[in-house]
Amino acid sequence: MIPVQGFEGQKVAVLGLGRSGLATARALLAGGAEPLLWDDSPEARAKAEAEGFTCTDLMRHGAMEGVACLVTSPGIPHLYPAPNKVIARALEAGVPLDNDIGLFFRSVALGSWDEFDTVPRVVCVTGSNGKSTTTALIHHILQVAGRPTQMAGNIGRGVLDIDPPQDGEVVVLELSSYQTDLARALTPDVAVFTNLSPDHLDRHNGMGGYFAAKRRLFAEGGPDRAVIGVDEVEGRFLANQVAQGPQDDRVIRVSSGSKLDEFGWSVFARKGFLAEWRKGRQMASIDLRTVSGLPGAHNHQNACAAYAATRALGLAPKLIEQALHSFAGLPHRSQLVGERGGVRFINDSKATNVDSAAKALQAFPKIRWIVGGMGKDGGIASLQPFLGSVVKAYLIGHSARDFALQIGDLPHEICETMDRAVGRAAAEAEAGEVVLLAPAAASFDQYPNFEKRGEDFMAQVRTVIG
């Protein structure tokens, strides 16, 4: 646990008692603060009270009096589309807002660090797609290298729930736009921006607000090194804003598809090969085509970002290459479930929007595509340019029939359920083909989350392959 510093003897309100909220309450108490807890859910309040905390309705008259800070959980809106009623009350009263990320950065550096031979470092990863894989890959590379490391944030544990960093340790954090948007302190040593595509636009009042939330990690954080994906205009703009010029090697530009040999420091992948360039010279090359845990151009971009971040931490290219080959990937993200008769079964249940589904569809040459669920605005019509590798689509869930109308002449079958889709795809698939779950839709019509959807896919696959 990271005890929260700076609030000893003061009241700090905590809104939202999920994983991060309860971890925040414990860390505040450990730092000598008096936490005032609230959640609209009676079940969440009961869980907190079972730990010995007292819950206080933050909407009652006078509840904000003497409160030094209101710490809110990521899922609670603080501005758009409208502030939560408790947050609105805090804004009216002038009570500062923060989240667990802000508390982490104000509290993580302890006096004992002066005695360390090597000061701990913090790496933060943000972006639209690939940030979980990139975060986990950085963490894995560090483990293979024998560096002490912890992973937290939007993946794994809450940031205040980790152990205080030790001598030479690297803390790797995945940060969503909800987390970077509100944190009052953001001071990573290395900051990574993977890419940007439309998501969470209601919470940020459009793409401009969404990008601005991501940009805060760099503009306010002032990292020693910035690793920035430049395959979209927002990334190119961000790199331009952070760097003093094209030869400024504090910025490491990353691309999947573009050659970036004219900059001070860059890492890019082309035709399956990763290349590192510094000041006009190629420093290293890695054949990513043989890295089974990172298939497709989108994962090659993740590999480039993780490579750049760990190079910025001083790791050698050969060591990083070794670690890439032992990375198994994350569940529900281009995850190889099994193989039968030359047919591979890939679980990419995390592909909940058209952008991530497009990347999955470009990763394999011959695909039996399982798609559908609770469709998002615009459906899947924009995936038309990426359907050339699809042999047949098997449609499931609420939007199955709508999606069928949007894929043109592509052979398809409306299966509705996962078991029928997997069974039909497996029966028709031929050697060299891939049965791919890349839903391009939310899971909430049939499953509580994308993880449960992916687990169902894996269970059905295991039934089929024996």
Q: Check whether the bond before 81 is cis (ω within 30° of 0).
A: yes
326 is in an annotated binding site: no
432 is in an annotated binding site: no
176 is in an annotated binding site: no
Name the residue among 55, 23, 31 with its Cα closest to residue 41. Answer: 55
User: Is residue 351 classed as helix, strand or coil in its secondary structure?
Assistant: coil
129 is in an annotated binding site: yes
Report the relative pairing of strands 434-437 and 367-372 from DSSP bridges: parallel
Distance CA 44, CA 312 (A): 41
Distances (CA, A) of 95 to 66, 128, 164: 9, 31, 28
132 CB contacts (<8 Å, ≥6 apart)? 154, 155, 174, 330, 333, 350
Could you give the residue ranges of the DSSP H alpha helices within 220-316?
233-242, 296-312
Tell me how long the chain is: 466
278 Rama sector, left if φ>0, alpha if ψ -120 to 50, beta otherwise: beta
131 is in an annotated binding site: yes
Instruction: Provide φ and ψ at 32, rounded to 5°.
Output: 95, 5
Distance CA 27, CA 192 (A): 27
362 CB contacts (<8 Å, ≥6 apart)? 296, 297, 298, 386, 389
104 CB contacts (<8 Å, ≥6 apart)? 2, 159, 160
Distance CA 127, CA 261 (A): 24
Find how far residue 415's CA is from the centre of its chain.
31
In one letter, which amino acid is 138? I
Contact 358, 439 (CB under 8 A): no
149 is in an annotated binding site: no
In one letter, which amino acid is 93? A
130 is in an annotated binding site: yes
- 404: how many CB neighbours lie within 10 A of its CB? 18
Token pair 């420091």 in the structure block, residue: 265
Residues marked as binding? 127-133
Residues marked as binding for ATP? 127-133
